[in-house]
Structure 1
Amino acid sequence: MARYGGEEFVVILSHTCSEEASQVAKRLCDKVRSLNIPHESSSFGYVTISMGVVCQVPSSDETPEKLILKADNALYSAKHQGRNQFIIA
């Protein structure tokens, strides 16, 4: 895990299929939600996370920048669809 931006983090899961990545993303969402950290500006009233998930078999066609862009687009889809969730690109 690494901080990628102000409020954005990147997690790389090696040898992980989309089903396993979905399970990890769901656990992360559930864990953050269960902390019940107050967030007055949130419609939920507490801190939640939204995620964009990309699963990719390594290839010369997919650069790290392209993977980040796909994940970022999925992240914004998750935010536009109500937050507190993950979307797989």
Structure 2
Amino acid sequence: MAVTLTGQEGGLWDVTTRGSTHRFDLDAMTVTRIPGETSGPTVNDRARPLLEIVHCTVGARGYWLMRPDPDEADYLEHYWHLSSSIQSINPAPSD
């Protein structure tokens, strides 16, 4: 288990929060939110290009920035996600 994810690690990582799992593919630089049973859907429930991991540490809230789709780029600088408290950061199995 890792304590912090910066984006420099490479590989696949599962960041588990109180209600969701966030799959980071740091080789492809994408992140996908996978909602848990008690979490509602959001616009981030699909693979999005990752711009920056601002903060991702166990015991704290996570914050990262994602690139908009090409047809949104004229209107939107980036998507952002502020997670609930991060419970764990673990290498993810490749699918």
What TM-score range do you get, normalising by the shorter chain? Answer: under 0.3
The structure in which a higher percent of residues are strand is 2
Q: Which has the bigger relative contact order, CA under 8 A and spacing at least 6?
A: 2
The structure in which a higher percent of residues are helix is 1
Which structure has the greater CA radius of gyration? 1
